[in-house]
Structure 1
Amino acid sequence: MARRTRSQEKILSTLKGVSQPISAQSLYIEMRQEGSTLGLATIYRALDALKLEGAVQMRTLPSGEALYSLPQEDRHHLTCLQCGNSIAIDECPVHELEKQLHTAHQFKIFYHTLEFFGLCPQCQGLLSATS
């Protein structure tokens, strides 16, 4: 692992204090409030480098926005395409597959995500009410 820059260390420190995944822009605002002078482009570069070493995990929302967090237990979600609401699910059907892929391809897996897209009960009700 390469030595981390001061920018990368500051970002990791800020991410430790955040309770949920955060966008780069929100991370920039959070760090500004803490007195950091890092620019947004520097934050993006540092997040990218941290992602490539597995120190940060990224999740892309249907809107295209990327959210960053420290790698935790595998993340799995049901995401509503209408309202964008995400429901975390605890079950993980792919741990065995992950082991098989690592063995078969010698691929170093840092983490995985599993996301299902559809409509939440509330949005289903809104659609059926308007049809």
Structure 2
Amino acid sequence: MGEKLSIPKGYRQTKQRKAILDILEKAEFPIHAEDIFLRLKEGGIDISLSTIYRNLEMLTKEGLVVKSYMMNEDKARFALPDKKNYLVCEKCGKIVIIDNCPFDKFKEELIEVHGFDITGHSIEVYGICPECQKKSE
């Protein structure tokens, strides 16, 4: 696990918290708490789903984890901040992380026009992936 993913000061460095961050670091895209639960169980870590949710809320509050809701889903997904911008296929559900964030250029304009102190963002873009486009032809 990378140095940037350490548990914030004031919180205990538990095996469970470290394991949750490790799962999120390995995840290719934002995942549900239930997915984290299953992956931890498969890895032999005994943890309850409610403990995962409590830890995810703390990690979100501390800025180590980003919480988002995808269109047509009623459960939150969680990811590390570098995986918070993504494309979602409306047909198959494929998720592709956007590495180069286009928001940085737009951020300065928002600050100038609206006077907001921007503290964070996430971008979800919906469409049809190339594979589903081919199937539709």
TM-score strictly above 0.5: yes
Root-mean-square deviation (Å)? 2.9
- Structure 1 residue runs of 5 or longer lacking an equivalent are none
Give, in angstroms, the shift of residue 24 of structure 1: 1.0
Q: Which residue of 2 aligns with 1:3?
A: 10
- Structure 2 residue runs of 5 or longer lacking an equivalent are 1-7
Give, in angstroms, the shift of residue 36 of structure 1: 2.2
CA separation of 1:70/1:12 partners in 2, compared to 1, >3 Å: closer, same or farther? same
Query: Aligned partners of 1:2 and 1:101: how far apart in 2?
Result: 33
Q: Which residue of 1 aligns with 2:117?
A: 106
From 64, 67, 92, the equivalent of 1:83 is: 92
Query: Aligned partners of 1:60 and 1:12: how far apart in 2?
Result: 19
From 103, 112, 133, the equivalent of 1:124 is: 133
Contact 1:102 1:108 in 2 (8 A): no
- Counterpart AA for 1:69: A
How many residue pairs were aligned?
124
Query: Aligned partners of 2:109 and 2:62: how far apart in 1?
Result: 22
Q: Which residue of 1 aligns with 2:50?
A: 41
SS in structure 1 of the partner of residue 81 of structure 2: coil
From 86, 94, 97, the equivalent of 2:106 is: 97
Query: Aligned partners of 2:98 and 2:70: how far apart in 1?
Result: 16
Query: Aligned partners of 1:19 and 1:89: how far apart in 2?
Result: 15
SS in structure 2 of the partner of residue 105 of structure 1: coil
Q: What is the TM-score when the length of structure 2 is the normalising length?
A: 0.67
Contact 1:78 1:115 in 2 (8 A): yes
Give, in angstroms, the shift of residue 127 of structure 1: 4.1
1:30 aligns with 2:39: yes
Q: What is the TM-score when the length of structure 1 is the normalising length?
A: 0.70
Contact 1:55 1:70 in 2 (8 A): yes
Query: Aligned partners of 1:120 and 1:27: how far apart in 2?
Result: 26
